[in-house]
Amino acid sequence: MNIRNYKSLAWLIIAVMLFGLMPAIATAEAEENGNSDPTEVLYLVDDVVGTSDPSILYKVELVGGTTPKAVLTESKELTGFNECQAIACDPDDPQHLIYAIDRGSGIATLGVYNVYNDYWENLGHITTSPGSLNITAVVLAAFSPDGRLFIGCQESDEIYEVNTDTLKATSYGKLMVGTTSLVLAGGDFAFDSDGNLYTWKNSGSLYFTSYGAFEPGNMATEHRGGATDYFTGLAIRENGSGDLVGSKTNPSNEIVVINKTNGAPIDNYPMYLSTDLENIHPYNYGDMTAGPIFKYVICGHKYESEDGSLTTSSGLAGWEILLEKEDTTSPGSWIEQYSIFTTTGGSYCFEDLIAGTYRISEKQKSGWNQIFPENGGYHEVVLGPDYQESYYNFWNQMKTYDICGNKYEIAPDQTITSGTGWEIYFEMTSDASLIATGSAVTDAEGHYCFEDLDAGHYKIFEENRTGWDVVTPSAGFYEFDLNECTAGQSYDFYNIEELEKHCVATETAWAAEHTTEGGTRFTTQGSWATYIQYPQTSEAASENNPNIYPLYAGQHYPAGYLEVWDEDNYLNVKYNANLCDGFLATHDLDEKDIPTPGEVCEGEWEFLELHLQIADDADGLLEKSNGNGPPLHSHGKLNPKIKTHEPKNPAPGQFDNKYTPGEPFTDYTFEIDDNFDGNICIAAHAVMRYCGYECTEPDE
- What per-residue confidence (pLDDT) applies to 4? 30
Taking the CA atoms of 674, 676, 679 and 685 in sequence, report the sign of the dihedral they define: negative
Check: CATH 1.10.10.10 for 296-387?
no
Confidence of residue 359 (pLDDT cuts 50, 70, 90): very high
What is the per-residue pLDDT for 700? 43
pLDDT of residue 424: 97
Mean pLDDT of 495-504: 84
Are the C-beta atoms of residues 254 and 268 closer than 8 Å to each other? yes
Distance CA 432, CA 69 (A): 67
At 240, is the secondary structure helix, strand, or coil?
helix
Q: Are 322 and 273 in contact (CB under 8 A)?
A: no
Within 10 angstroms of residue 672's Cβ, the number of other Cβ atoms is 15
Give per-residue pLDDT as tens, 577-630: 988 777 777 777 677 677 788 777 778 899 999 999 999 888 888 887 765 555
Residues 545-571 have a mean pLDDT of 89
In the chain, list all ranges with CATH 2.60.40.10: 296-387, 400-497
What percentage of the chain reaches a pLDDT higher than 90? 40
Q: What is the mean pLDDT of the chain?
A: 82
Pick the more confident residue, 264 or 384: 264
Task: Write down the pLDDT at residue 642.
Answer: 45
Quote the CA–CA distance of 480 and 403 in Å, as a whole number: 11
pLDDT score recorded for residue 485: 83
Predicted confidence band of residue 185 (pLDDT cuts 50, 70, 90)? confident
Cβ neighbours of residue 617 closer than 8 Å, sequence gap 6 or more: 681
- Of residues 276 and 296, which shows the higher confidence score? 296
**What CA–CA distance (Å, rounded) separates 571 from 673?**
6
What is the rounded CA–CA span in Å between residue 27 and residue 316?
29
Q: Tell me, what's the pLDDT at 14?
A: 28
Extended beta strands in 104-157, E state:
109-114, 119-125, 138-143, 149-153
pLDDT at 19: 28
Give the list of residues 6+ apart from residue 597 with CB closer than 8 angstroms, or none: 504, 505, 507, 554, 557, 690
Question: For residues 482 and 275, which has the higher predicted lDDT (pLDDT)?
Answer: 482
Find the mean pLDDT for residues 387-416: 88
Confidence of residue 218 (pLDDT cuts 50, 70, 90): very high
pLDDT value of residue 697: 59
Check pLDDT > 80 for residue 28.
Answer: no
pLDDT at 527: 67
Residue 425, classified by CB atoms within 10 Å of its CB into exposed (0-12), middle (13-18) or buried (19+), is middle
- Pairing of the two strands 231-236 and 217-220: unpaired
Describe the strand order of the beta sheet including 84-89 as a list of residue ranges: 84-89, 97-102, 109-114, 119-125
**Residue 622 CB neighbours (<10 A):** 20
Which CATH architecture group holds 400-497? Sandwich (2.60)
Return the ∠ at Cα 68 (arms to 63 and 72), rounded to 5°.
55
Whats the size of the chain, residue-wise? 700
Q: Single out the residue of 238, 227, 221, 196 nearest to residue 38, CA to CA.
A: 238
- Map residue 63 onto helix, strand or coil: strand
pLDDT for 308 equals 77
Query: pLDDT confidence of 390, banded at 50, 70, 90?
Result: confident
From the candidate CATH numbers 1.10.1740.10, 3.20.20.100, 3.30.365.10, 2.120.10.30, the one assigned to the domain spanning 40-290: 2.120.10.30
User: 523-552 burial, b for 16+ CB within 10 Å, e for fewer?
Assistant: beeebbbbbbebeeeeebbeeeebbbbbbb
**Could you read off the pLDDT of 618-659 as tens digits, one per residue?**
888 888 776 555 554 444 444 455 444 455 678 898 999 999
Burial class (CB in 10 A: 0-12, 13-18, 19+), 333: exposed
Inform me whether the pLDDT recorded for 21 exceeds 80: no
- Residue 373: asked if its preceding bond is cis (omega within 30°), the reply is yes
Using DSSP bridges, classify how beta strands 288-290 and 42-46 pair: parallel, antiparallel or unpaired: antiparallel
Pick from 178-192, 290-304, 462-476, 667-681: least confident: 290-304
Question: H/E element holding 683?
Answer: strand 680-693
Q: How far apart are CA 460 and CA 438, in angstroms?
A: 10
Please choose, from the candidates 7, 699, 3, the residue with its C-alpha nearest in 3D space to the C-alpha of residue 352: 7
Secondary structure class of 5 (helix, strand, coil): helix
